[in-house]
């Protein structure tokens, strides 16, 4: 087996040194009845690289990759162009095959990029501090609600109907254990009166912008209403590229920002691994979940970085920790930080404008189709259309034409009858003019 | 993965720079590297994107007004920055990385290549199911491998890391207990457990009750049985345990737990010692997470991303979280909502958006297919063999508290061999850095004083392990002989000397700020 360096002779010599008769002697604490042989496993034997590559490639070929067709899916995961340098750099052995930077003297590379990442996230979100990442946007949102419950010592969380339904379910699963989670009905448009639900028991209000339908939400009045009752505003972002064109949630009064960072540096990967961004105000840092890299100096006075405020974390605090989280999204957050460094202010804001311009042009063309209306007047690179028939059937029909037209809202909210005809369409810089023409043409025919 | 108590701040004092300082501040191939924010200039970018103007029509009056504050760099500058940063890191590819409990095994590059096939890497989690049948097949195949290897009837794939898997398992246990119309608030956790175990139990709404260890490093099964009662929901037990030992009374403990109406959660962090030889299902386990980044070689990546699927017993299987995957004879389908559940399914909720760490699934299945069931068994045996070889080769000069019998995949030492030398576990570990090794796990598990936990994994050749043993032997002998110069203030040859963790925690500086703004964070 190519990954195992010990030879038969090595094994014999090592057993001899140990004073064990055979390998079984080393497993003597295992109850006899629990030791099983090869026949207990109905699984294949070792295969060479060529055979394995062939098997996996065959499976991969059964999927339609996003880059091979006109592609308009978003709803929490976005296809952007990732510069070649990003994937090359994250595969350097020193990044790929290192552990959590517990020994800071020999992990300054990781610790410094985490410190830079934290700074980038704080700048983008308009917040004072950010952590070194959580698993993804949905779990970051759940952690934000738990943190708000700790900070306010209140239990009720109000979730906007525009919050991605998977995120809302993730929050309910975790935060529903210790508190009450209230969801406003899922309706696109600025119609929900979330401010009216905020009371003296409310720990936090969770609002996504752009929301799951792509609608840009004004967070200011919600922040004001929350703060008036002593509650926190948690702003959720699933498309961070929007921050290149839109006002940051920090500037609009958010207390915690939980975001999905996949759009920058990370591929679609069928849903994971992604990278959760988490930012907040300085006064809450000791209530934050997750790893933090902090600046310090070494014994010779040189600037360096260490993991810090570990007394919040499970390996020190055990059952009193702010979260049970142990890992972060290391390599995905490295990809994020490298891509953002390549873009810089100029590239990032240009990228955002390019996305919006392309989406706006396509939205207007699609809204002109007979029977199709645009129900999100304000949006970044994703919008929702109301079709004259169920969106899922239209998407299926367009798959047969070689177009993946978007995400039918019914995939995310199957019980919401009003959403049956809604199609959520995302348009990034990776969509070509020909792709847009193809969608306009095919959708026009499909809804006739 | 929980670790040593490096998080406990240490203040290093100061050292004299003995070498002639260079003019540049760099030392040969060791370059100092500023923060990215201290590089670059405005207007520069490393990605060419055409400029387009956008109107405010669809922006709802929320267009960004001020700048973000990101620096501008060209591609070569960015590449150099990250290459230089990478060179300050230790990595498995460059040397033995004996972090106990963390399993720093070789990460095959074929895994990386397969994860990047467009059919896996460039597919969207919500694209129509008929366009991702290969992806669903891959997940289904991996589920089968995990179920067969563990001897368990079900597996939940969505948890994103080990600790997330623990949470998933505990929520399934909570749901099962509620379904019986009971409330059981208490979880038993051995004092040797990873910190994530009690933290997870608390997060899932339980209280934690510690079970002591016996003097020989096992969980005190009698104490455990005495603590069982109608208010106990589960035990969370690591096996092989954090001392690197297999729990010989595991079956007996599992039976007692079940008899008391509770469930057995097994922390699967150390599954890599027994995969292919022992099936946790045969030991009475009800739920166990599997760290794909340990046992199945997905890269640690400097701290993630991980993946933590959870295998479940028949008793807990109905409570597995959404989404579920089914196969109707012709096609795979996701079940993502409660309206279309198969008979008997009572999911407790959802762990995260979408379906889990697909990129890690591809890598893990690639590893499994490469090894095969025979290779996985051999890998477990080699890992156990190497750890025992290290234990046998060092226990005469270092002190092994449980060195009488064999260990599993990691060898545990304590600091009694350093008694009276003035050298601490921390000094000893930091001196290993100067010898070219990443230190072992220190001060964990907590049940041993000054713990040093060494896990060589199956990826090291005998020559490599012999060299490592030689270095550690010499170090131990020197320390005991009173030759302690190399330990005081080590490391001397790393990119940094010891760092002041106390100052970092007292006055946290968690981000760069422009010079004109005050730097103080609190």
Given a cut of 50, whether residue B7 has pLDDT beyond it is no
Predicted local confidence at residue B15, as pLDDT: 61
Of B149, B337, B382, which has the smallest distance from its Cβ to A6's Cβ? B382
Using the Cβ of B261 and the Cβ atoms of chain A, whether some distance falls under 8 Å is answered with no
Average pLDDT for residues B69-84, to the nearest whole number? 98
- What is the ipTM, given to two decimal places? 0.97
In chain A, the residue whose alpha carbon lies closest to the alpha carbon of B349 is: A173
Of A57, A95, A344, which has the smallest distance from its Cβ to B89's Cβ? A95
Q: Confidence class of residue B3 from pLDDT cuts 50, 70 and 90? A: very low
Average pLDDT for residues B408-420, to the nearest whole number? 97
The interaxial angle of helices A391-399 and A433-446, nearest 10 deg, is 120
Of B82, B134, B373, which has the smallest distance from its Cβ to A43's Cβ? B373
Instruction: Give the minimum alpha-carbon distance from A45 to chain B in angstroms, rounded to a whole number.
Output: 4
Using the Cβ of B425 and the Cβ atoms of chain A, whether some distance falls under 8 Å is answered with no
Given a cut of 50, whether residue B442 has pLDDT beyond it is yes
Beta pairing class for B207-211 and B186-190: parallel
Query: From CA B312, how far away is CA A87, in angstroms rounded?
Result: 36
Given a cut of 90, whether residue B519 has pLDDT beyond it is no
Query: From CA B303, how far away is CA A328, in angstroms rounded?
Result: 6
Q: Give the single-character DSSP code of B214.
A: P
CB contact under 8 Å between A100 and B302, yes or no, is yes
Query: From CA B231, how far away is CA A203, in angstroms rounded?
Result: 30
The boundaries of every CATH 3.90.1150.10 domain in chain A are: 69-81+345-446
Average pLDDT for residues B327-336, to the nearest whole number? 93
Predicted local confidence at residue A263, as pLDDT: 98
CB contact under 8 Å between B93 and A97, yes or no, is yes
CATH class of A69-81+345-446: alpha beta
What phi, psi does B67 have (nearest 5°)? -75, 160
* Cβ atoms of residues B8 and A310 within 8 Å: yes
Query: From CA A333, how far away is CA A276, in angstroms rounded?
Result: 8
- For residue A14, list chain B residues with Cβ-Cβ distance below 8 A: 385-386, 388-389, 462
The boundaries of every CATH 3.40.640.10 domain in chain A are: 84-339
CB contact burial B158-197 (16+ within 10 A = b; e otherwise): bbbbbbbbbbbbbbbbbbbbeeeeeebebbbbbbbbbbbb
Average pLDDT for residues B262-266, to the nearest whole number? 97
In chain A, the residue whose alpha carbon lies closest to the alpha carbon of B248 is: A29
Given a cut of 60, whether residue B1 has pLDDT beyond it is no
In chain A, the residue whose alpha carbon lies closest to the alpha carbon of B371 is: A46
pLDDT for B176-221, tens place per residue?
A: 999 999 999 999 999 888 889 999 999 999 999 999 999 999 999 9
Pairs of residues, one from chain A and one from chain B, whose beta carbons lie less than 8 Å apart: 745
- Count Cβ atoms within 10 A of the Cβ of residue A434 and give its class: 0-12 exposed, 13-18 middle, 19 or more buried: exposed
Q: Which residues pair with B334 in a beta bridge?
A: B325
Beta pairing class for B332-335 and B324-327: antiparallel
Query: From CA B317, how far away is CA B335, in angstroms rounded?
Result: 15
Query: From CA B369, how far away is CA A3, in angstroms rounded?
Result: 13
Predicted local confidence at residue B2, as pLDDT: 39
B15 versus B221: the higher-pLDDT residue is B221
Using the Cβ of B191 and the Cβ atoms of chain A, whether some distance falls under 8 Å is answered with no
List, in sequence order, the alpha helices (H) in B180-249: 196-203, 221-227
Architecture of domain A84-339: 3-Layer(aba) Sandwich (3.40)
What's chain A's average pLDDT? 96
Query: From CA B131, how far away is CA B135, in angstroms rounded?
Result: 9
The H or E element containing residue A202 is strand A202-208
Instruction: Give the minimum alpha-carbon distance from A291 to chain B in angstroms, rounded to a whole number.
Output: 10
The interaxial angle of helices A49-61 and B358-394, nearest 10 deg, is 150
A66 versus B521: the higher-pLDDT residue is A66
Q: Which residue ranges make up each domain of chain B?
A: 111-365, 381-497
The H or E element containing residue A351 is helix A330-367
Predicted local confidence at residue B4, as pLDDT: 43
Q: Give the single-character DSSP code of B355.
A: T
What CATH topology corresponds to B381-497?
3.90.1150
The interaxial angle of helices A330-367 and A433-446, nearest 10 deg, is 60
Predicted local confidence at residue B516, as pLDDT: 64
What is the CATH number assigned to the segment(s) B111-365? 3.40.640.10
Residues of chain A numbered 254-293 and touching chain B (CB < 8 Å): 260, 267-273, 275, 282, 285, 291-293
Using the Cβ of A236 and the Cβ atoms of chain B, whether some distance falls under 8 Å is answered with no
Using the Cβ of B171 and the Cβ atoms of chain A, whether some distance falls under 8 Å is answered with yes
Instruction: Give the minimum alpha-carbon distance from B287 to chain A in angstroms, rounded to a whole number.
Output: 17
Beta pairing class for A232-237 and A256-260: parallel
End-to-end CA distance of chain B: 30
Q: Confidence class of residue B135 from pLDDT cuts 50, 70 and 90? A: very high
CB contact under 8 Å between A404 and B462, yes or no, is no
Given a cut of 80, whether residue A139 has pLDDT beyond it is yes
Query: From CA A96, how far away is CA A105, in angstroms rounded?
Result: 18
Interface test with A, best of B37, B297, B304 (most A CBs within 10 A): B304
């Amino acid at each position: 087996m190519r990954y195992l360096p010990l030879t038969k002779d090595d094994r014999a010599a090592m057993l001899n040194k140990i004073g064990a008769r055979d390998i079984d002697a080393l497993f003597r604490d295992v109850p006899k009845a629990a030791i099983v042989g090869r026949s207990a496993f109905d699984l294949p034997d070792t295969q060479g690289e060529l055979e394995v590559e062939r098997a996996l490639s065959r499976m991969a070929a059964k999927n339609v990759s996003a880059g091979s067709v006109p592609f308009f899916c978003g709803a929490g995961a976005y296809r952007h162009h990732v510069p070649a340098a990003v994937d090359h750099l994250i595969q350097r052995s020193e990044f790929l095959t290192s552990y959590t930077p517990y020994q800071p003297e020999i992990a300054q590379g990781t610790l410094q990029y985490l410190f830079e990442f934290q700074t980038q996230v704080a700048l983008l979100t308009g917040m004072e501090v950010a952590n070194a990442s959580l698993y993804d946007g949905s779990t970051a949102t759940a952690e934000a609600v738990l943190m708000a419950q700790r900070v306010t010592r209140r239990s009720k969380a109000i979730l906007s109907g525009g919050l991605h339904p998977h995120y809302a379910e993730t929050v309910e699963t975790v935060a529903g254990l210790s508190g009450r989670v209230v969801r406003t009905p899922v309706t696109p448009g600025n119609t929900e009166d979330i401010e009216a639900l905020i009371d003296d028991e409310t720990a936090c209000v969770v609002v996504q912008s752009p929301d799951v339908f792509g609608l840009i939400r004004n967070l200011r009045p919600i922040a004001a209403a929350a703060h008036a009752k002593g509650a926190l505003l948690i702003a959720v972002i699933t498309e961070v590229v929007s921050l290149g064109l839109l006002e940051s949630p920090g500037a609009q009064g958010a207390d915690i920002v939980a975001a999905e960072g996949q759009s920058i540096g990370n591929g679609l990967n069928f849903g994971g691994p992604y990278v959760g961004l988490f930012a907040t105000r300085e006064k809450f840092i000791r209530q934050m979940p997750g790893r933090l890299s902090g600046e310090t100096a070494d014994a010779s006075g040189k600037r360096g970085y260490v993991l810090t405020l570990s007394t919040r974390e499970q390996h020190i605090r055990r059952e009193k920790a702010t979260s049970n989280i142990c890992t972060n999204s290391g390599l995905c957050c490295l990809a994020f930080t490298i891509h953002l460094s390549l873009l810089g202010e100029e590239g990032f804001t240009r990228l955002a404008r390019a996305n919006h311009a392309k989406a706006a042009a396509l939205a207007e063309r699609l809204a002109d189709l007979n029977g199709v209306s645009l129900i999100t007047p304000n949006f970044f690179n994703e919008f929702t259309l109301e079709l004259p028939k169920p969106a899922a059937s239209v998407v299926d029909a367009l798959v047969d034409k070689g177009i993946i037209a978007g995400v039918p809202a019914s995939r995310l909210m199957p019980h919401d009858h009003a959403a049956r005809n809604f199609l959520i369409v995302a348009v990034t810089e990776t969509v070509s003019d020909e792709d847009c023409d193809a969608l306009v043409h095919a959708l026009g025919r499909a809804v006739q | 993965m929980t670790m040593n108590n490096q998080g406990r701040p240490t203040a290093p004092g100061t050292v004299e720079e003995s070498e002639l300082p260079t003019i540049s501040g760099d030392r040969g191939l060791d370059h100092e590297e500023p923060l990215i924010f201290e590089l670059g200039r405005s207007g520069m970018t490393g990605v060419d994107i055409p400029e387009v103007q956008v109107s405010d029509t669809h922006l709802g009056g929320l267009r960004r007004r001020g700048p973000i504050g990101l620096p501008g760099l060209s591609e070569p500058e960015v590449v150099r920055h990250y290459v230089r940063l990478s060179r300050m890191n230790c990595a498995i590819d460059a040397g033995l990385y004996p972090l106990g409990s963390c399993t720093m095994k070789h990460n095959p590059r074929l895994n990386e290549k397969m994860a990047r096939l467009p059919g896996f890497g460039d597919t969207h989690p919500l694209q129509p199911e008929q366009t991702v049948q290969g992806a669903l097949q891959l997940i289904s195949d991996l589920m089968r491998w995990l179920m067969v290897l563990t001897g368990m009837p079900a597996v939940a794939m969505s948890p994103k890391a080990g600790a997330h898997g623990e949470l998933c398992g505990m929520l399934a246990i909570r749901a099962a207990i509620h379904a019986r119309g009971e409330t059981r608030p208490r979880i038993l956790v051995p004092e040797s457990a990873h910190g994530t175990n009690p933290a997870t139990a608390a997060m899932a709404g339980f209280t934690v009750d510690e079970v002591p260890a016996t003097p020989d490093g096992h969980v005190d099964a009698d104490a455990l049985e005495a603590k069982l009662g109608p208010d106990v929901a589960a035990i969370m037990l690591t096996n092989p345990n954090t001392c690197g030992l297999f729990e010989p009374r595991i079956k007996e403990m599992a039976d007692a737990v079940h008899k008391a109406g509770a469930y057995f959660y097994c922390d699967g962090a150390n599954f890599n010692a027994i995969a292919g030889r022992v099936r946790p299902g045969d030991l009475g386990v009800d739920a166990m997470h599997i760290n794909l980044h340990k046992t199945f070689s997905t890269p640690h990546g400097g701290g993630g991303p991980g993946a933590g699927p959870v295998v479940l017993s028949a008793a807990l299987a109905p409570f597995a979280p959404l989404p579920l995957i089914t196969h109707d004879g012709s096609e795979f389908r996701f079940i993502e909502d409660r309206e279309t559940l198969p008979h008997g399914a009572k999911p407790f909720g959802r762990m995260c958006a979408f379906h889990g760490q697909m990129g890690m699934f591809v890598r893990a299945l690639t590893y499994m297919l490469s090894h095969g069931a025979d290779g996985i068994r051999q890998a477990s045996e080699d890992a156990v063999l190497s750890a025992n070889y290290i234990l046998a080769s060092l226990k005469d000069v270092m002190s092994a508290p449980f060195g009488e019998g064999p260990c599993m995949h990691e060898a545990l030492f304590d600091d009694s061999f350093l008694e009276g030398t003035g050298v601490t576990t921390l000094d000893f570990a930091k001196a290993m850095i100067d010898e070219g090794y990443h230190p072992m796990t220190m001060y964990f598990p907590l049940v041993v004083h000054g713990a040093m936990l060494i896990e060589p994994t199956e990826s090291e050749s005998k020559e490599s392990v012999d060299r490592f043993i030689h270095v550690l032997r010499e170090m131990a002998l020197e320390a005991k002989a009173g030759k302690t110069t190399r330990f005081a203030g080590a490391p001397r040859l790393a990119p940094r000397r010891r760092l002041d963790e106390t100052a970092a925690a007292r006055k946290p500086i968690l981000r760069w700020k422009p010079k004109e703004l005050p730097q103080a964070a609190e």
